[in-house]
Structure 1
């Protein structure tokens, strides 16, 4: 492993270690020393690359939000009709709820931090705007806002329920939100 300035991936390793640590122990357990140890970098690297814990957390959570945006995009990009978009949203909810537990924990850790601290609320709001823009490729703005909330809620409920609901219930919920009522 390269060291010092010859280590171009050090910053990325620190961010990845931060997310891994948060997934394992929560935001409250983050310290420069713990992250440096996990990333296998000298402690001084932490202050060289990040101005403080908040800078580290914001960048790590931004990286995570970028990852989730890619998951959204992968599911929604090939939908050519409303029906395909509905199926893509259904698939997305199941992929997120059945996917890595790490992603679910990181999402909840970010939301908890955002509920307490306005600077993180801005990060979650930017994440929601990005998710909604992807949904707005297929649905109007109001429907996209409702779908975004449905995705978050159903993902959490499915992931934490001892007997999660099946795909048909998810499909019906998506259809209800996306079908105009006269």
Structure 2
């Protein structure tokens, strides 16, 4: 790759990344080709090889771009969350806002496509080493956001359990998508409600308050 050292070069590079990210969302990894990316970005075909070492390098940058867009939206959602005591249902709903999406947006085909694309990226990282580092960086940031939401809900954050929490949601969502369930969030909600008090139990102070109310 030749580094985009000029403002014009950097704009072109970012346009190619954004175009590749759009194609990933619309058609998966098979849709991202040198010609299709250049066409979408309205740039010469040669620009994809000028600014990127390989198609794999371009795809990795597009995956990171998409992941960061999603993380930015999650951060905005977390910023709206007040710090207060929350029961299991309210906590689960907040977690699902981050991992699956808010209630009522499944009528939007774009939201479903975005969720499918996220899982496609995760699976692809198992086969493509160049994506693995990207996914690990994105996952670390996601864990931080989940931990923040749990703390704001007076829940204990145990790093070893965050992976379990995400795995429960991922399994339910993938099953729902495979079965063409129109609302993956509903299936994920039921699964997470069964384990939320185990993987993210109330803080001792919160437990004491619950007992005082009995």
Q: TM-score, normalised by structure 1?
A: 0.77
Q: Give yes or no for the alignment of 1:125 onto 2:128.
A: no
Contact 1:104 1:156 in 2 (8 A): no
Larger Rg: 2
Mapped partners of 1:117, 1:25: distance in 2: 18
Partner residue of 2:51?
49
Over the aligned positions, Cα root-mean-square deviation in angstroms equals: 3.0
1:152: which partner in 2? 170
Alpha-carbon distance between aligned partners in 2 of 1:167 and 1:26, rounded to the nearest angstrom: 22
Alignment of 1:33-72 (within 5 A): 33-72=35-74
Q: How far did 1:60 drift?
A: 0.6
Matching of residues 10-49 of structure 1 within 5 Å: 10-49=12-51
Determine if contact 1:75/1:89 at 8 Å carries over to the other structure.
no
In structure 2, the CA distance between the partners of 1:82 and 1:67, relative to structure 1 (3 Å rule), is farther
Are the structure 2 counterparts of residues 80 and 86 from structure 1 closer, same or farther at C-alpha, using a change threshold of 3 Å? Answer: farther
Mark the CA change 1:46 to 1:151 in structure 2 (over 3 Å): closer, same or farther.
same
* Change in 2 beyond 3 A, CA 1:126/1:160: same
Change (3 A) 1:112 1:140: closer
| TM-score normalised by length of structure 2 | 0.67
Structure 1 spans left out of the alignment, 5+ residues:
none
1:107-126 mapped onto 2 (5 Å cutoff): 107-126=118-137
Structure 2, unpaired ranges of 5+: 1-5, 151-156, 202-214
The SS at the match of 1:95 is coil
Q: Compute the displacement of 1:33 (Å).
A: 1.8
Distance in 1 (alpha carbons) for counterparts of 2:184 and 2:121: 27
Of 88, 91, 95 in structure 1, the residue corresponding to residue 94 of structure 2 is 88
For 1:69-95, what per-residue CA distance to the aligned partner results, in whole angstroms no more than 9, with x for missing partners? Answer: 223323333141352543311333451
Shift of 1:176: 3.1
Residue aligned with 1:41, SS:
coil
Q: Displacement, 1:53? A: 0.9
